[in-house]
Chain A
């Protein structure tokens, strides 16, 4: 037969899922939070989001070119990193600082370790921590929502403010100071529900993270609901801790990891000098992921000597 056939190993069917579709779903899930941030913090928020995404994609493109590897900007993972980085910045931050963050995220944390799927910590969070340590003032100057002049008016985030300064409704709606994407709990939860419906993430990590943070808050004598709804906890639990590359792939691994994140978040918030603990707790747990996976490898089907209908 002159007609050449494809010969390949089974299966000959593939699902129509793809890395790009997954990343697109994450972007869609982040749209409510992004829109809300623009509503609260104005065009400057939009500008920051644009700067972060553009610089991340550019960094990814250039570093792949320099390393003489196939370009991977088509999978949109750099867009997700850029968007998440932007949503973790205060609105008043200098765009150049944001660009520096993108370079750290993509070049140092992601590409130097081998690109998508190989980084051992979440790029956006690692970049945020680098910025926090390098530019503490800029990174902790919060602007109140709907304020006309971003540079002039500094406000306290709900975590720093006197307890009771914000009601739960305020926290749900998010019209207060904070990073771009972390203030509005409703928008974040909407995104989380979308990701679950699309089966992009499993509900284990967000639910266990939130639950363990709540319980830990009660243990240390904090207002659990207030702790959950304020700061970057929801953004972290739904979008950052669930990052595929840096969370365990085993079911029980996910549980252990999420408990660690939740407990550490509250401990850091309560006992460290930092007002916020989400980034550090997730990064710390990221580093433990290989260990967690090792001890939670599922037992292969039939590995027990089972016989009969025993319970």
Chain B
């Protein structure tokens, strides 16, 4: 890699993207801490990787920050109790994606008694950091939920020189990261510099969309802080366009590097961390309290009082919406996450997980499904795709169940950002179709494997 790292004055060119309406209605509202709910239900799979196994039994007394779920697997983050109280039951609940997962229901005693084992971690070197990060239960808070200790554990052969802080927050409505910056700037600053030092990085780029001028001001002050003697931390305002928050797009915009297909950011010499993850890490280093709270944007035209709320992990969506004044009108669609990539769920009896950052409730007007019509080959999906794919061609292959053609058109490179379907004038369900195609390919792979084993 080149000896001198440069800081871009303006973002490098990226392909595609769409202009989605911002609707950041809650950006100027102070976040509110929600009172502790009477019960929380904490699911055992709040990250990408192996699900945790419950390590407590029904009837156990637990305290805030106590580990209640863990797994020996490497790609896994432990899960902690977010309240103090009694374990009421351990059984299956429905996850936002419709699957059933183990969950622990804890009845709160209202005391929020802290677990006695909690103390600030001692971090002197990278292995301390990795151990502490795992113990903190941190997962990628941008939405994907990739265990942070895995991300920070850079393989020896990878030459990582750049830390990118993701403050793009390109999804409409969501302002949780924006509020994090405004309300928790101390933690962000301390986290950025701590991480920079421990990882020994010479370049930190804070990528932030230019639709949040107040956040840019705060971040600029952080970047210009005198701690940063050699000016190795800088911000990069990005054009407010979707999907700049996508890891690979952000890396290209900040460094002009391309993450090879199927590879990780470290293959392009970068680590990308969400700003909320950074802030949490700094707080954890100070207090030792693991990840048990989340800032959630509650918005949508069916919500009476849209705002950011800080809730214990495991709080039910219903309780949160009631805390926000309930529904203004009859909700017709509930989304966990943003409107571009979030999952729509069938009712509000689900529970907040670590990686959730928004709950949106829409009325009939916003939620109505549009009937797709024939593809007119306008090519707007091709122009919109940040991964330089040809969505219509992929969908044609999916329609004819041709797995080879699907793979030839690089279906696996699709990150399901939704740009193509957003841009499509014929309202075709492009992303849905591509998901189906990926599933077909996985099924085919499984079939091939079982055929081989059968022999």
Contact = CB atoms under 8 A, between A and B. Distances in A.
Interface stretch (B121-129, B189-197, B230-238, B388-396): B388-396
Nearest to B343: A10
B275 to A, nearest CB: 23
Interface stretch (A18-26, A46-54, A186-194, A272-280): A18-26
Given A116-B376, A249-B379, A309-B256, A13 B21 contact: yes
A308 B340 contact: no
Contact of A301 (B345, B367, B388, B421): B388
B258 A13 contact: no
A293 B390 CA distance: 10
Contacts of A68: none
A12 B258 contact: no
B260 interface: yes
B136 interface: no
B369 A8 contact: yes
A308 B347 CA distance: 46
Contacts of A13: 20-21, 172, 339-340, 418, 422
B151 to A, nearest CB: 18
A120 to B, nearest CB: 11
A17 B383 CA distance: 15
B341 A11 contact: yes
Interface stretch (B87-95, B276-284, B425-433): B425-433
Contact of B339 (A12, A250, A300): A12
Interface in A285-311: 293, 297-309
Given A115-B374, A300-B389, A10 B410 contact: no
Given A15-B18, A115-B374, A5 B258 contact: no
B78 interface: no
Given A250-B390, A302-B263, A307-B267, A5 B422 contact: no
Nearest to A200: B378
A118 B382 contact: no
A1 B348 CA distance: 8
A172 B103 CA distance: 74
Interface string B13-26: 00100101100000
A9 interface: yes
A13 B170 CA distance: 13
B362 interface: yes
Contacts of A271: none
Interface in B386-444: 386-390, 392-393, 409-410, 413, 416, 418, 421-427, 429, 431-432, 435
Most chain A CB within a 10 A radius of its CB, from B1, B340, B388, B431: B388
A117 B339 contact: no
Contacts of B369: 6, 8
A249 B18 CA distance: 17
B330 interface: yes
Interface string A245-270: 10001110000000000000000000
A167 interface: no
A19 B425 contact: yes
Q: Chain B's interface: helix, strand, loop or mixed, by majority?
A: loop
A15 B340 CA distance: 11
Nearest to A23: B376
Given A301-B15, A301-B387, A21 B362 contact: no
B375 interface: yes
Contacts of A249: 377-379, 382, 390, 392
Per DSSP, are chain A's interface residues mostly helix, strand or loop, or mixed? loop
B172 A75 contact: no
Contacts of A161: none
Interface string B318-350: 000000000000111111000111111111110
A83 to B, nearest CB: 17
B6 interface: yes
Contacts of A9: 344, 429, 431-432, 435
Contacts of A18: 425-427
How many of chain A's residues touch chain B, expressed as a range?
A: 35 or more
Contacts of B333: 5-8, 12
B304 interface: no
B382 A250 contact: yes
A298 B269 contact: no
Contacts of A293: 393
A17 B421 CA distance: 11
Nearest to A11: B418
A302 B387 contact: yes
Contact of A303 (B261, B268, B374, B386): B261
A303 B390 CA distance: 14
Contacts of A17: 380, 423, 425
B80 interface: no
A118 to B, nearest CB: 7
A43 interface: no
B420 to A, nearest CB: 9
Contacts of B450: none
A244 B379 contact: yes
Contacts of B18: 15
B423 A298 contact: no
Contacts of B20: 13
Contact of A299 (B367, B379, B388): B388
A244 B376 contact: yes
B248 A297 contact: no
Contacts of A21: 425
Interface in B336-373: 339-349, 360, 362, 367-370, 373
A11 B340 contact: yes
A116 B2 CA distance: 52
A9 B348 CA distance: 17
Contacts of A118: 374
A45 B453 CA distance: 73
Interface of B: 1-2, 6, 15, 18, 20-21, 172, 248, 252, 255-263, 267-269, 330-335, 339-349, 360, 362, 367-370, 373-380, 382-383, 386-390, 392-393, 409-410, 413, 416, 418, 421-427, 429, 431-432, 435
Given A12-B360, A309-B256, 6 more contacts: A9-B432, A15-B422, A244-B376, A297-B409, A301-B15, A308-B257
30 contacts: A5-B331, A5-B333, A6-B367, A8-B369, A9-B431, A11-B418, A12-B340, A12-B367, A13-B340, A13-B418, A17-B423, A17-B425, A75-B373, A116-B373, A116-B374, A116-B376, A117-B374, A202-B383, A244-B376, A249-B379, A300-B388, A301-B15, A301-B252, A301-B386, A302-B263, A302-B413, A307-B269, A308-B269, A309-B2, A309-B6
Q: Which 9 A-B pairs have the closest CB atoms?
A: A11-B418, A249-B379, A9-B432, A300-B410, A302-B261, A306-B258, A17-B425, A12-B339, A13-B339
